[in-house]
Structures are given as C-alpha cells and as structure tokens.
Structure 1
Amino acid sequence: MTYDFCGKTLEYFKNKLDRNSIDGQGMDVICNVHFNDDPSEKGLNNAFWVGDQLALGDGDGRTFINLARSIDVVAHEFAHGVTQSVNELIYERQSGALNEHFSDVIGTAVQQYVKGQNAQTADWLIGDEIVGPAWPGKALRSMKTPGTASEIDDQPDHMRDYKKLPLSKDNGGVHIYSGIPNKAFFHVAMDIGTDAAAFLWYTAWHDRENIHPRATFLEAFKAILKAAEALVEKGKLPAKTIDSVKSAFEEVGITSLVHA
C-alpha cells in the first residue's frame, strides 16, 4: 500500500506540478515503514521527513494506527522534502507553519487526486485515516474548518487569533497556525479547483524573494499573488484567480497585515 502511495504521489508531482520526484531531479524515494526509534514502545505515533527519506510509524493502536495507510500523510511528508529542496523554510513560528501548511496543501491535493475527489466533494480532513480509538476526534486537522477536527484541535482560522508562542510549544505553533493559510488555500481551491490551486502554491514556493527560510504569512501571500498574476498572464490559470487569492487571504486576516 505505501509503495503504491509513494508512486501516486510521484505521479501527481509529474502530471500536475511538472516536478521530477522530491528534489526535482528524479531522486530515488526511500520510505521506512514500521519505523520505531524506541523498541520499548509498541509503535511510533509519528511520521516524518528526515534528511532524504520518509519514516512512518505503526502507531500504538490507541492514539494512532498505522501512519503508512494514509495517502495524505505520505504525500504530506513528501512535501516536506520538496520544501527542503526549494526554500528550506525554518521549522519554527510562521516559516514553520508555512512549511506545515504546504505539506497539508500537497497532502490533500494528492489525496483528492487518488480518490477521484474535487474541492467540492472532498472532506478536507488531514489524517482522518490514521487516528485511533483514543483520539478525541475525527482527524488531526481540518483545512475547511480549522479547530474542529478534534477536542484538542486548537487551530485558529484568522490572524486575529494569532499569538507568538514560545518555541517550546509546537516550535512556536507550526501545526497550530498552519490552519490560517490552510483556510486561505481551501477558499482558493473551492473557487478555481484543487489542482489549479496546488499548482499556484507550488509555483509561488519558488519565489525565493518572498518564500525565504524565515518567510512570514504576509510574504507568502505576496508570493502567491505574484505567481497568480504571472500564471494568469500566461493563460495557465483562469483570470478570476487573482481576485480569488486576494479575497481568500483577506478572509483569514493576512492581507490586513499590510497596513498593520
């Protein structure tokens, strides 16, 4: 199953993003399944990208079950490798939240591609297939309605609820505040389609002027808007994309930072 998921993710990269594997140069994919760095524990409750490969735990059977069984989790980790290759977003605070956000974008896009879904028919949940019986909810995150995936889901969906957290808490909120740009992506995808929105985000991620290692949400908006304008001019995205991006980022309070 995991082998097939890796193949489908590479297929999406090639067919929808015009990218040759994780590094863009056809690198081999190394995926470690049943990974456990502590043999005394029943199963690792985690999945992650490290160096040049993926590691997927089996879960403890309570909080999480086999993390390799979910296509969005596999694709999410692939995308961390892409970010590492393209712009090396530092994994803390807003740059780290953008790192997590881009992985959620790719994770949901690949999942919809594999399952034959679109923006309107997808549930927009992240990790719903790997949560176990002790998890207090239906998924890890919701891109459609951040903060509703579980009883412990504390993601906000607007900058008014953004607070600068200490690095000791979720690396300054990398999983918490990714919900804000996630909501913006959801709005754009609903307007122009998930694949088109993912292609837009992927294109913007190559803007090293704005998406630098310590990029902010506002800089990400600037990169995405600039990419939208360029892709519309080239006829690769519909004309409404520009207004869609402006509206989506206004909806989550990021564009208001221009005047802050």
Structure 2
Amino acid sequence: MPLPSPISISGQSAIVTGGSKGIGKGIARVLAGSGAKVLIVARNPDDGRSAVNDIIAEGGIASFHPADLSNAIECEGAVAKALELYGKLDILCSNAGAFPSCNLADMTEPLWDELMAQNVRSTAFMVKAAMVPMSAQKYGRIVLTSSITGPLTGYPGWSHYGATKAAQLGFMRTAALELAPHGITINAVLPGNITTEAIIAMGPAYTEATAKAIPAKTLGDVEDIGYAALFLASPQAKFITAQTLVIDGGQVVPEIEAAIL
C-alpha cells in the first residue's frame, strides 16, 4: 500500500485570524486549497467576505466571522462559530495583528498597550479558546504568525511591534508544555518581507531597499508563508512543537549587507 500524501488536511476545519488580506489571506487560501474548511476571522467585513468569495471561487470551503480579537470574549465567539459551522476545530492559525510605525521617542502608553492587545493578547486568548475543543478531541495544530522583526532583527520605528513578536514566542514555548498532554502542538512562522498590501503601501523605495537586502533580491509571496503553515498544521507535523520556522529568503543570514555581496 502506498504511503499517504506528505501533506493532508482534507476534511479538517481551521480558523485563520487576520485572514482577510495579506499573509493571513495567503494562509487561508493554501489551507482551503488543501482541503480544509476555513473560517476567516477579521475586523473588516468587506475584506473578509471578499477573501471568502475568492476561496469559494477557487473551489474551497470558507466562511467569515467578524471579531475584535483583543477581546477575550470575541475570541471565544470565533471558536464557537467554527464549531457551529464545521462541528470541530482542528487548526488555529493565529495571524491577526498590526505593525504601525512609531519611534520610541514618540511612544505613548495607549499606542504601546493597543499593539500589545492586538498582537499578543489576541494570540493568547485565541489559543486559550481553541484549546477547549482541541483538548476534548485530543488533537490540534496551532500556528502563530510572528516575524523576524523582534525575535531576530530590529527596525527603527518598530520597537513596540518587535516586542510583541518576541512576546508571542515566549508565550508559545510555555503554552506548548501545557498543550502537549492534550495532543496539541503549537509552532510559529517568522516571515521576513512578504509582498502584502501593507508592504506595498510603504512605497517603492522601501520595497526596493528591502529586496536588495534579500539574497534572492526579491520579496516573498504570501503563499510562501501559507505552505509553511500548512506543514505545521498537518498531522504529519505531530512531533514538532514550540519551534520557529524563518521564511525570509535568507535575509537574516549574511554577516554584511547582502546588497554589497
């Protein structure tokens, strides 16, 4: 008898937070294209429904649920909606977040606290909500979207953003120990510079300079993150937990600027 396909999530159900655009949308499309029933959870209904329509047009199964995930009650509501629609929850891709720019000299307590809520609190309470049905079925895959910024690199104006992305990994490592007895794994993808609406909005000077710093001289695609998340979300990744996977085209590898190599 032949071995099963290396990556198989057909018939599983997944939540992708922040799945209405950018990296989250790429993850949602890849999961749906690989057979999962996907619930996209995001703030903007127009973007969310557009992302769902794109997946359905490609032959996938997807729905949208609006939520502000900095609120723990709304995290629980998102999980309840997935259970209502699909009867179970196998995969959580906790991707929702923001990366506003603010120099440290201009930082205020509200700006700091807001981003911590958007990027860290939402992650923690989505995981807490998802672990209830996952623990009951003794199976679950959780994938966090962190970043190279914070855990591995720094960039002016993103001190608060970098802090949130490093915090996600600290949370992940202890959460992994608590989730493991219940058959749940939790890992993180660390994207580098990926072609998203937000990156494009930063202007051609930024994207050109960033591309020069990548050995391949090009930014990544959202699907590059999606396929990495797909593996970590699969049954085949059962013996991997509390790990990080950098997806940056080798950006953090050179000892000197890649542009002068």
Pairwise TM-score range, normalised by the shorter structure: under 0.3
Structure with greater contact order relative to length (CA < 8 Å, sep ≥ 6): 2
- Normalised by the length of structure 1, the TM-score is 0.27
Larger proportion of strand: 2
